[in-house]
Amino acid sequence: MRERIKANFAIAAEAVMANRVRSFLTALGIIFGVAAVIAMMAIGNGAQQEILEQIKLVGVNNIVIEPVLEQSEEDITEGGEDEGGSNKPEFSPGLSMQDVQSILNIVPGIDKMSPEVMVDTYVINNGLRRTSKLVGVTPSFFNVSNLPLSSGRMFNDDQLERGLPVCIIGSGVKAKFFPQEDPIGKILKCGPHWLEVVGVLQERRVSQAAIDNLGIRDYNMDVYTPIKTMLIRFRNRAKITEDMLGGGGFGGGGRVIFIGGGNEEEQSPDAQNYHQLDRLVVQVAQTENLSNTAEVISRMLSRRHYGVVDYQITIPIQLLEQQQRTNDIFNYVLAAIAAISLLVGGIGIMNIMLASVLERIKEIGLRLAIGAKKDDIVMQFVLESVMISISGGIIGILLGVGLATMVSNLADIPTVISFVSILVSFGVAAFVGLFFGIFPARRAAQQDPITSLRYE
């Protein structure tokens, strides 16, 4: 039996090599189909991995609340006045720490709360000055954002309660200002104040897609301080100043000055940011409660802000799930195209093998006349078909890997080539050759030897 298989394999290989060009053209459908499968799965796996990385960045079960600036809402009547004879814009206290406490006290199922206050400032150390963001946070921020420390320690209770001048720096800040030394215990000047470094974050790689889609900033170049330190020493927009009481800050048309720890910033009323917080992340204990909790928080904030919608609520994981569904649809389309290509390639193999049967009727008749069995004829043509499809599959695998690499390098799209995709595509190629080669092989084996020998 083994000798018969070897002999039939040798005859099939000789027939394929005798018609190299035709065999290659026959295998083109398989080549492109297999390449499409591998490239498609590589792009899909890359997109899946990127979405998982983005989920790690935004955290799980998070609701993000951000202030909306430059809101204006008023009742316009004849003469620009309302029924009471005044022209007053709607008042809102803005997003504040009081909102944080109210959400914690009222809304059930809250796991963690992470308020943030951000200031664009500059950092100075060892004669080097660089722009950076100073972010006032609580320890929950690092848990919610999945930002572990690489060295040092977290803020302690005393630093949090008293608003002491301490900070945790990103890995990029460490690389810029402390390239050859341990920054723990050193001081860093942020704006007008000096802060002691108590911790350094692990490096966090953030893709451009995450920055664009989710509004995630580069955490590596930020400096983090306790939120009470930020409100006492740097900026507290909820602090009422004399200018505000004089009509300059609450729709009176005058200039607005924010004061915090000796740092004054002058803005026009049109660009006024009256929100104490720049961002608030609420982490919910149960995933199924995300939408309901967001709805409850929205209604509560609407009451606290006197009906002024000066905030926006987003659920990043739902955006990512929608993105994943879009990627899945894209992958299904690519899979359908690849399947059609493989189907066309299989039909091409069957057509060529049928033509080959007609061309080699005399050869078939001669083999049958000298003692070959019908099973030998079937095996010969099936082996030819499988050889063509497997050869096409190998070329397709190389082409698919090359395409995936090229897409990753030129289009800056992440791709992940898996062994499973290569195994599946190779197996499909072999199956296509076997399936579409059986009918021509059976037709060749059914030839009558005497009629075949007389065929012209």
What pLDDT was estimated at residue 166?
Answer: 95
Q: What angle do CA 115, 232, 281 make, to 5 degrees?
A: 0
Q: Which of 25, 36, 21, 10 is nearest to 428 (CA)?
A: 36
Residue 263 φ/ψ, nearest 5 degrees: -105, 110
Residue 179 φ/ψ, nearest 5 degrees: -70, -30
The residue type found at 45 is: N
Burial of 128 (0-12, 13-18, 19+ CB in 10 A): exposed
The pair of three-digit structure tokens given for residue 103, joined into one six-digit string: 């959400």
* pLDDT tens, position by position, 278-288: 989 898 888 77
Are 416 and 52 in contact, with CB atoms under 8 Å apart?
no
Task: Give the integer Cα–Cα distance in Å for 358 and 374.
Answer: 16
The pair of three-digit structure tokens given for residue 199, joined into one six-digit string: 């911790």
CA separation (Å) from 163 to 22, 168, 226, 236, 397?
80, 14, 7, 13, 60
Looking up tokens 């802060």 gives 195
Question: What does pTM read for this prediction?
Answer: 0.59
Angle between helices 290-304 and 316-359 (to 10 degrees): 150
Give the distance, in angstroms, between the CA of residue 260 and the centroid of all CA atoms in the same chain: 38
Q: Tell me the pairing of strands 263-267 and 279-284.
A: unpaired
* Residue 200, beta-bridge partner list: 151, 169
Task: Give the integer Cα–Cα distance in Å for 12 and 22.
Answer: 14
**Sequence ranges of the domains in the chain:** 2-53+322-454, 69-237+273-309
Which pairs with CB-CB distance under 8 Å and at least 24 residues apart come from 11-20? 11/380, 12/380, 12/381, 12/383, 12/384, 12/387, 13/383, 13/387, 15/356, 15/360, 15/380, 15/384, 16/384, 16/387, 16/388
The residue type found at 101 is: Q
Task: Give the integer Cα–Cα distance in Å for 427 and 34.
Answer: 10
DSSP reduced 3-state for 315? coil
* pLDDT tens, position by position, 20-70: 787 788 788 788 888 888 888 888 778 777 766 666 666 667 888 888 875
Give the distance, in angstroms, between the CA of residue 409 and the centroid of all CA atoms in the same chain: 17
Residues whose CB is less than 8 angstroms from the CB of residue 329 and which lie 6 or more positions away in sequence, other chains included: none
* Residue 309, beta-bridge partner list: none
DSSP reduced 3-state for 63? strand
Are 107 and 296 in contact, with CB atoms under 8 Å apart?
yes
**Residue ranges of the alpha helices (H) in 258-373?**
290-304, 316-359, 361-369
Segments of the chain scoring below 70 in pLDDT? 1, 4, 8, 51-60, 70-90, 206-217, 240-271, 318-324, 358-362, 364, 444-445, 447-456
Are 292 and 107 in contact, with CB atoms under 8 Å apart?
no
The pair of three-digit structure tokens given for residue 14, joined into one six-digit string: 């000789």
What pLDDT was estimated at residue 259?
Answer: 33
Task: Give the integer Cα–Cα distance in Å for 346 and 352.
Answer: 10
